[in-house]
Amino acid sequence: MKRSNLLNLALPVLAATSMAAFAQSSATGTGATTFTNVCVACHQAGGAGMPGLAPALAGTLAKPLAGDVGKRYVQLVLLNGLSGHIKSQGQSFNGAMPAQAQLDDATLAAVATYLAQDLNGLKDVSFSAQDFAQARAQHPTHKELRSLREQSGL
């Protein structure tokens, strides 16, 4: 086979691979940027949390996000917020996380993917805009969110 023919065959494969990597890095970049712009005020840089204000997100969500219940919980909390008393890593928090439903589904998916992959090391866990579009149609009660939290192992 001629060298030019090999290049003609290889270029589309390389382009598709590069585009997929770019899409992943764009999603991670959008998630990190949005986290910095929206979430860091309470959850702090790197998701370290702030005692008495907001729980750590880094290293604390790996087990819950590895399962469907935990993924659903994170989606619904991002969309609907969460208020009241919670315990996380032996610390008590009594406040309110505001709903982030003003963010579009793709941005919410990028933030949730950032939480899973970058802050909790779950490279195989990701969220899509479609996941958030479906979750947006649900309107859980406070009690249902708390139940999901408990079921997820948080």
Query: What confidence tens digit (pLDDT) does each residue in 19-68 have?
Result: 333 334 344 578 999 999 999 999 999 999 999 899 999 999 999 999 99
pLDDT at 143 over 60: yes
pLDDT at 11 over 70: no
| Residues 80-133: tens digit of each pLDDT | 999 999 999 888 999 899 999 999 999 999 999 999 999 999 999 999 999 999
pLDDT at residue 10, rounded to an integer: 33
pLDDT at 153 over 50: yes
pLDDT at residue 16, rounded to an integer: 34
Give CA–CA dist 153/127, Å, rounded. Answer: 20
Give CA–CA dist 125/31, Å, rounded. Answer: 14
**CB count in 10 Å sphere of residue 44:** 16
Q: Are 74 and 115 in contact (CB under 8 A)?
A: yes
For residue 43, what are the CA distances in angstroms to 23, 51, 63, 68, 72?
26, 10, 19, 23, 20
Cα dihedral 48, 51, 53, 58 in deg (nearest 10) = 20
User: Which domains, from first to last, does the chain contain?
Assistant: 3-152 (1.10.760.10)
What pTM was estimated for this model as a whole?
0.79
Give CA–CA dist 28/31, Å, rounded. Answer: 5
Residue 102's region, left for phi above 0, alpha for psi from -120 to 50, else beta, is alpha
